[in-house]
Amino acid sequence: GPAAEVLAQGDVVVAIDGKRIGGRNISKAAQAIRGEEGTDIELMVLRGGEGEPVPVVITRSRVTVPSRHHRRN
């Protein structure tokens, strides 16, 4: 998805559209990021989990999760 294109391993999202997300579990954070395709959202990100947060703007797009096929022997 779009976030995967701008976030790196070790980055920590601390706010979504100006709302701090400290203590939220990942599914609640993901719900906050979801929205209408083509709209922008601002994430405040600690690069490498340290320093001052920097703003990262992403444009929402459709995320397709590939299906996994299991083969039986």
Q: Residue 66: its pLDDT value, please? A: 75
State residue 31's pLDDT score: 82
Position 61 scores a pLDDT of: 87
Residue 1: predicted pLDDT: 62
How many Cβ atoms are within 10 Å of 13's Cβ, its own excluded?
19
State which residues of the chain have pLDDT below 70: 1-5, 23-25, 69-73
- Are 40 and 59 contacting, i.e. CB atoms less than 8 angstroms apart? yes
* Residue partners of 63: CB distance under 8 A and separation at least 6: 1
Task: Round to whole Å and give the CA distance between 42 and 55.
Answer: 6
Model pLDDT, residue 57: 92
Question: Given this model, what pLDDT does residue 54 score?
Answer: 93
Nearest Cα to 43, choosing from 35, 33, 34, 51?
33
